[in-house]
């Protein structure tokens, strides 16, 4: 299918964009071409779709359920007991609701870590989004063996290729306090053998760091390095309580960090994400919302604004975490970590695009579109979304959204009965 976007603003100038299949094939002032679909871009601006680098999509079902709690009581008293009751149907519709929310707010790709990989992957496939879905390795009792972990990973990876080219399967090692050392070693070896990404929580709280120091005499990233875990395929969500040495270790091994400002603030995990320090060392950084139970929404525009303002405030430096830098982190930065040719508008790149309506107060006057998007707008200013060359939202309407709302209502009544 060919799509022609006609006279949309890009970098302050009107352009035409021609999409063929799932790729952008031409960007020019004027394009003469026959297209199956023409989208009029007058009065709108185009931007790359966001890459949400840390989600737990079925947890939309827990939005507003367990607020204003500390992290561990929140997990052990509220979240984990109810997760144990979830059915495949609950996983599926929770994930579909999350995908709908991301479509409505301008996200075209997400990096997820949760249970029930086949069902979550199917939800991603059905939504039309690009998803990196991790099979979760986790045991809060810390009794899982390496053999059990390998069997779990084999079972998850047996589904590779079932969900089409937009869905990529990865491994999720939950955290150092829920995955024993032999299992972490097995995960690292398995991922290297099968060329898989690893998605893991790390250095999220000061307590996690202090517990690791007490148990191992090293900070979490230092300890993970000592057991051979670090590598270019490792993505650390939160990475909030990092020392200079840990940042250098991440840079040396090519590991990536994901900033999740909303959940870090809501759970009071901390606020001094060392964005500028990591960038200076060459650490790749992505931006994420975390799950709806700990951040309450999946709005990447809101995440950009919080990340930028927090980064300025704790440094007392208004030039830190600039709008253009955090926008790159939220788009191209995440795509580069995942190894996909997205997060950019260029000939040959994947057709993952969002159109924004400029006829709204947030974009008037339009001195700088990116600054307005980061500091003035929210995700619901997205008007039209294209993922993998397919229109998933047009004029703020998404096909099938009413059914998703209805089904989520049904499964929530069952889950919390």
pLDDT along the chain (417 residues), means of 10: 96 97 97 95 98 97 90 86 94 98 98 97 98 96 97 97 97 98 98 98 97 98 98 98 98 98 95 98 98 94 98 98 98 98 97 97 97 98 98 97 97 93
Supply 13's token pair. Answer: 């100038």
pLDDT of residue 289: 98
Burial class (CB in 10 A: 0-12, 13-18, 19+), 158: exposed
Q: Cα–Cα distance between 153 and 322 in angstroms, integer?
A: 40
pLDDT of residue 332: 98
- For residue 166, count other CB atoms closer than 10 A to its CB: 22
pLDDT of residue 78: 87
Q: Are 54 and 288 in contact (CB under 8 A)?
A: yes
8-46 per-residue burial string, b: 16 or more CB within 10 A, e: under 16 = bbbeeeebbbbbbebebbebeeebeeebeeebebebbbb
Please list the residue range(s) of the chain that carry CATH number 3.20.20.140. 50-338
φ, ψ of residue 258 to 5 degrees: the values are -125, 125
CATH topology assigned to domain 50-338:
TIM Barrel (3.20.20)
Residues 6+ apart with CB under 8 A from 257: 235, 236, 239, 242, 250, 278, 283, 284, 285, 286
Q: Cα–Cα distance between 244 and 265 in angstroms, integer?
A: 22
Could you tell me where the beta strands, DSSP code E, fall in 246-293?
256-259, 284-287
| DSSP 8-state assignment for residue 167 | E
CA-nearest of 260, 315, 313 to 286 is 260
Alpha helix positions (H), 179-218 = 181-194, 206-216
Q: How far is CA 390 from CA 82, 298, 313, in A?
A: 36, 21, 40
Could you tell me where the beta strands, DSSP code E, fall in 150-294?
167-173, 198-202, 234-238, 256-259, 284-287
Please list the residue range(s) of the chain that carry CATH number 2.30.40.10. 2-48+343-399
Q: What is the CA radius of gyration of the chain?
A: 21
Q: Is the dihedral of CA 260, 262, 264, 270 positive or negative?
A: positive
pLDDT of residue 72: 84
Q: What is the largest CA-CA distance in the chain?
A: 67
Q: Domain spanning 2-48+343-399: which CATH class is it, in words?
A: mainly beta
Could you tell me where the beta strands, DSSP code E, fall in 203-297?
234-238, 256-259, 284-287
Give the DSSP letter string of 26-79. Answer: EEES------SEEEE-TTEEEEEPEEEEEE-GGGGGGTTTS-S--HHHIIIIII
140: left (phi over 0), alpha (psi -120 to 50) or beta: alpha
Supply 201's token pair. Answer: 């929580």
pLDDT of residue 290: 97
Query: What pairs with residue 168 in β-bridges?
Result: 132
Q: Are 266 and 69 in contact (CB under 8 A)?
A: no
pLDDT of residue 141: 94
């Amino acid at each position: 299918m060919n799509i022609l976007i006609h006279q949309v603003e890009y970098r302050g100038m009107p352009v035409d964009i021609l999409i063929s299949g799932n790729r952008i094939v031409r960007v020019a002032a004027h394009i003469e071409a026959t297209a199956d679909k023409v989208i009029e871009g007058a009065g709108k601006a185009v931007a790359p779709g966001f890459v949400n680098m840390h989600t737990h999509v079925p947890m939309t079902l827990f939005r507003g359920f367990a607020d204003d709690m500390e992290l561990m009581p929140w997990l052990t008293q509220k979240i984990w007991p109810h997760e144990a009751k979830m059915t495949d149907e609950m996983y599926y519709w929770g994930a579909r609701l999350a995908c709908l929310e991301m479509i409505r707010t301008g996200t075209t790709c997400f990096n997820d870590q949760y249970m029930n990989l086949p069902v979550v992957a199917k939800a991603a496939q059905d939504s039309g989004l690009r998803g990196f879905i991790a099979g979760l390795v986790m045991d809060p009792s810390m009794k899982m063996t390496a053999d059990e972990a390998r069997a779990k990973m084999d079972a998850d990876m047996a589904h590779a290729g079932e969900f089409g080219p937009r869905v990529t399967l990865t491994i999720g090692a939950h955290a150092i306090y829920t995955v024993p050392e032999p299992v972490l070693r097995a995960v690292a070896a398995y991922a290297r053998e099968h060329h898989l990404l690893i998605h893991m929580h790390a250095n999220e709280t000061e307590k996690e760091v202090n517990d690791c120091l007490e148990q191992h005499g090293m900070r979490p990233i230092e300890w993970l390095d000592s057991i051979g875990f670090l590598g270019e395929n490792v993505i650390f969500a939160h990475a909030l309580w990092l020392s200079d040495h840990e940042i250098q270790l991440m840079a040396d091994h090519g590991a990536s960090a994901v900033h999740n400002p909303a959940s870090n603030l809501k759970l009071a995990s901390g606020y001094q994400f060392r964005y500028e320090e990591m960038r200076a060392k060459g650490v790749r950084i992505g931006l994420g919302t975390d799950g709806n139970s700990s951040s309450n929404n999946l709005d990447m525009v809101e995440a950009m604004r919080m990340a930028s303002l927090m980064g300025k405030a704790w440094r007392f430096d208004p030039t830190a975490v600039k709008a253009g830098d955090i926008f790159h982190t939220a788009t191209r930065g995440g795509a580069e970590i995942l190894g996909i040719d997205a997060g950019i508008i260029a000939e040959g790149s994947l057709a993952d695009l969002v159109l924004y309506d400029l006829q709204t107060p947030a974009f008037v006057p339009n001195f700088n579109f990116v600054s307005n998007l980061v500091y003035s707008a929210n995700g619901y200013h997205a008007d039209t979304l294209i993922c993998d060359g397919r229109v998933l939202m047009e004029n703020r309407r998404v096909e099938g959204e009413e059914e998703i709302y209805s089904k989520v209502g049904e499964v929530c009544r069952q889950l919390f009965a």
